[in-house]
Amino acid sequence: MQPEPMSGVHAITNGEFEGRGVFVSGGTSGIGAAVARAFSAVGANVVILGRRPEAGAVIVDQIRSAGGACEYVSGDIRRSADIERAIEIAQQGGGLRAAVNSAGIFDRSVLFDDYSDEAWDEMIAINLTGVFRCLRAEMKAMKAHGGAIVNIGSSVGHRGSLRGSPGYVAAKHGVIGLTRQSALECAEGTIRVNSVSPGPTLTDMAAPLVAEGPDAVRAAISQLNPMGRFVDPAVVAAAVLFLCSSAAEGINGADLAIDGGQLAKL
């Protein structure tokens, strides 16, 4: 028995992910975990790559308990061999039909004068170079049979930010650039590459603010998001699922803002 799909999602995917392999980097928490759950709900064999085995075991157990198929691979997107190993497992699970590059880290605003070489190098290595390495392996794996890839960007990939660090903002701009460049390379084939740019999202990092109550959330978020609330990771996951489906077959090299109107306000 497959887990209950999100409203409307099953109709969009029309069973096309049933028994097919899906790779999700950073699938142990936040948006990545929501994406893993969404694909499992429509019958995909999901392989998640992450650095936290305990968190990975929790997600796998949740998905399997709901009737889905999921496997956790311990690894780091800074190592090409780890990525390739996880993708090979996804290939064996029905052929790699979709890949979602969600792994990333966040550091809060730091002035350029105080931003260390080490902080910059780590941010770029994970949030940008890691996406490049994933894309390279995914495109190679999909070359023979096609597929769809979605990179998880950010609304700060379109602008500056007083919340994010120089490295984070630069990396997310770079993710959108990689999306466009890889989409161009794939344009004449059967692989599509797109990205989504969420605004402030209801992940573990938002917990302290959420604990202060809805009024505190509205006061803080409404300065950015005209809707005055966090983006739900499940909403991002639904958009990712759509972009990977044949319903979006004409969409390639695009970035979809999921930010409650944040970028429209600027």
Residues annotated catalytic, as ranges: 168
User: How far from chain centre, in Å, is Cα 243?
Assistant: 12
Q: If you ran DSSP here, which 8-state letter would residue 45 be given?
A: E
Tokens found for residue 30: 């936040």
Task: List the one residue out of 199, 25, 9, 187 whose CA is nearest residue 104.
Answer: 25
Q: Which candidate, 158, 161, 138, places its Cα nearest to that of 255?
A: 158
CA distance 86 to 110: 34
Cβ within 8 Å of residue 59, ≥6 positions away: 27, 28, 29, 33, 36, 37, 48, 70, 72
**CB count, 10 Å around CB of 229?**
14
Tell me the C-alpha to C-alpha distance, in Å, between residue 135 and each of 76, 183, 218, 254: 14, 10, 37, 15
DSSP H or E stretch at residue 176: helix 166-186
Beta partners for residue 164, in sequence order: 108
Phi-psi region for residue 235, left (φ > 0), alpha (ψ -120 to 50) or beta? alpha
